[in-house]
Amino acid sequence: MLKKLSIKNLAIIENIDVSFGEGFTVLTGETGAGKSLVIDSLSLLLGARASNELIRSGEDSASIQGVFETKSPALNAILSSLNIPDNDGEIIVARTLSKTRSLIKVNGVTVTLQDLLKISKHLADIHSQFDFEKILNPENYLEIIDGFSYELTSSYKKEYSKLLGEYKEKKAQYLSLVEKQKKIDEDRDFFEFQYKELKAADLKEGEEEEIASEISLLTNYDKIYSLSQEANEIAHEDFMDRLYELNKIVGTLAKYQPQYQETHDALDEKYFEVIDMIDTLKKSFRDIDYDPERLNELEQRDSDLNDLKRKYKKSIPELIAYKNELAETLGENNSFEDQLTEKKAIMDEALKAVIAKGEELTTIRKRSAAKIEKELQNCMSDLLLRATFKVDFLANPAQNDSILKEDGLDTIDFLIETNIGEGLKSLGKIISGGEASRIMLAFKTILIKANKTPTVIFDEIDTGISGESAQAVARKIHEISLSTQVISITHMPQVASLSNHHILITKEVKGNRTFAHMKELSLDEKIRQVAYLISGGSITEKQLEYAKEMVLSDR
């Protein structure tokens, strides 16, 4: 339940702290006194998007804080997942609005708007006179039905959503392969030409580098031959013998002077390496030969490779990879038919799985719908609506993926007969505003009961209702308050008279500024306020007596 609400610098509210008790609390006041701001504040605490236009003129920020008390294992699990302490069932939600951003904290821990929405579902529910639009729009019907067994339905919807995602993935893979085969069939001649051309080119990794090296050798043959001959002459001289003699002398020196030992060891090690290198050089000098025909072949090959690279806009390694891909695509290394058969079988199995889970979800919904039909008719009867109500699951015999929706397989309609003999018709097409308000209240009544909502806030849901119907609505709201905290903004004396707590919202102008005030009324003040709601203006003694009778008899 909501224990306390604090509002600072929100439009005409400068600083208000108000406490709420168990049972039934009504808020009354003139139009424009600030009642809607209270609803705005509660909406912000429950996850509504913030607007800095609500900040009081001349102030940099506004703040709203609500203290809730609840015992909910599901809520505790959410708080634990977000590393928020539960404070022994006390939940403090605070929002700060500034010109640039909105800050949200729950029990002192900063959270996102999405996190707050997860939490607020277990704290309170706001119902306004505009909510009846939900029952006039069939797109909202599944959400309403699912709300009656929220935990169970959510579990099935989560599994269904997972299977639906898997099916979409398998279908995408299958269709991609179908499209690939289609493209191959359309372009087979072109692909075959490319494959034959690349295969005939006999491309090899590293070939370009080898060709470049050999071309460099042949085009610079004169320089290379001259230098190699010079180097060959040096290599055949006896400087290696002299180096050997030098090392031998250094070795003898080392016997007398240890400082030469390191030099001797290094010369000893490198001596044989140098001999090997010189032998390699001598061999390479013998292998040098100029072949103009070979040069022509290499230059032509280099030109051909460059032509292929320009034509395909790929490097040689990429061309080799593309040739292998073409070979596979054209069926040298695989069979498209086998792949298609396999992918389709996998897709079909995924479709069966998601449909089966969807049918399980439908079964859960139909059970909920049967209970709703019965309870809703009883509740509408309490609200003086003699109506027959039915949840109609529209048939869809198809077993292909055309029946798959994001939230299941079902399309439903709400049917109602409000006049005997007229037959069941779509709810959104035949009811009036007053009927819609009472039907929505009936829905809310059983939804609150099913989900054990700790606090429900009604924002002038009695608008457009009068006479005997108004009394029936008042009794139903009071009935809800026997098991759930109810906070209701109302203009109806019938509703106000049944409350356990009555808060009056007023406003005054001081120093060219408007200020809103909230005050819990005493019994006498409450009787006078109920009389004021009856009269709509000046209060007569007779109206005061009638108000007293309403309040005291209802108590």
pLDDT of residue 231: 65
DSSP 315-330: -HHHHHHHHHHHHHHT
The pLDDT-based confidence of 65 (bands split at 50, 70, 90) is very high
The 10s digit of each residue's pLDDT in 278-292 is 777 667 656 556 677
Determine the average pLDDT of the residues in 328-336.
65
- For 355, the enclosing helix (H) or strand (E) is helix 336-382
**E strands present in 30-130:** 61-69, 90-98, 102-106, 109-110, 125-128
Most confident of 255-264, 449-458, 503-512, 518-527: 518-527
The share of the chain scoring above pLDDT 70, in percent, equals: 91
From residue 314, how far is each of 60, 190, 191 by CA, in Å? Answer: 61, 17, 16
Where is pLDDT greater, at 84 or 130?
A: 84
The pLDDT-based confidence of 333 (bands split at 50, 70, 90) is very low
The 10s digit of each residue's pLDDT in 177-193 is 888 888 877 777 888 88
HSE at residue 357, side-chain half, CA atoms within 13 A, is 25
The 10s digit of each residue's pLDDT in 349-373 is 999 999 999 999 999 999 999 999 9
d(CA 540, CA 546) in angstroms, rounded, equals 10
The share of the chain scoring above pLDDT 90, in percent, equals: 39
pLDDT of residue 522: 94
DSSP 388-424: EEEEEE------SGGG-BTTBS--EEEEEESSTTS--
Neighbours of 485 (CB within 10 A): 24
- Is the pLDDT confidence value at 59 over 50? yes
- Please name which of 106, 98, 111, 29 lies closest in space to residue 66, comparing C-alpha atoms: 106
d(CA 445, CA 430) in angstroms, rounded, equals 22
Strand partners, 110: 105
DSSP 220-265: THHHHHHHHHHHHHHHHSTHHHHHHHHHHHHHHHHHH-GGGHHHHH
pLDDT of residue 238: 67
Strand partners, 27: 489, 503
pLDDT of residue 334: 56
pLDDT of residue 290: 61
Assess contact for 86 and 107: CB atoms under 8 A. yes
The pLDDT-based confidence of 228 (bands split at 50, 70, 90) is low
d(CA 461, CA 488) in angstroms, rounded, equals 9
Assess contact for 502 and 529: CB atoms under 8 A. yes
From residue 248, how far is each of 261, 273, 339 by CA, in Å? Answer: 11, 17, 75
d(CA 13, CA 516) in angstroms, rounded, equals 5
d(CA 136, CA 306) in angstroms, rounded, equals 70
The pLDDT-based confidence of 8 (bands split at 50, 70, 90) is very high
d(CA 17, CA 519) in angstroms, rounded, equals 10
- What SS3 class is residue 11? coil
Burial zone of 259 (CB within 10 Å; 0-12 exposed, 13-18 middle, 19+ buried)? exposed
Assess contact for 543 and 529: CB atoms under 8 A. no
The mean pLDDT of the chain is 86
Residue type, position 74, single letter: A
* pTM reported for the whole predicted model: 0.65
- For 487, the enclosing helix (H) or strand (E) is strand 485-489
pLDDT of residue 409: 93
What are φ and ψ of residue 137, in 5° steps?
-115, 110
- What SS3 class is residue 105? strand
pLDDT of residue 220: 72
The 10s digit of each residue's pLDDT in 198-211 is 989 989 888 889 88
From residue 123, how far is each of 107, 110, 470 by CA, in Å? Answer: 14, 18, 28
d(CA 292, CA 294) in angstroms, rounded, equals 5
Assess contact for 397 and 352: CB atoms under 8 A. no
d(CA 246, CA 7) in angstroms, rounded, equals 100
Query: Looking at 77-86, 98-107, 264-273, which range is the least confident one?
Result: 264-273
The 10s digit of each residue's pLDDT in 365-420 is 999 999 999 999 899 889 888 888 999 998 877 678 888 999 999 999 989 888 77
Determine the average pLDDT of the residues in 430-436.
67
HSE at residue 312, side-chain half, CA atoms within 13 A, is 21
pLDDT of residue 219: 74
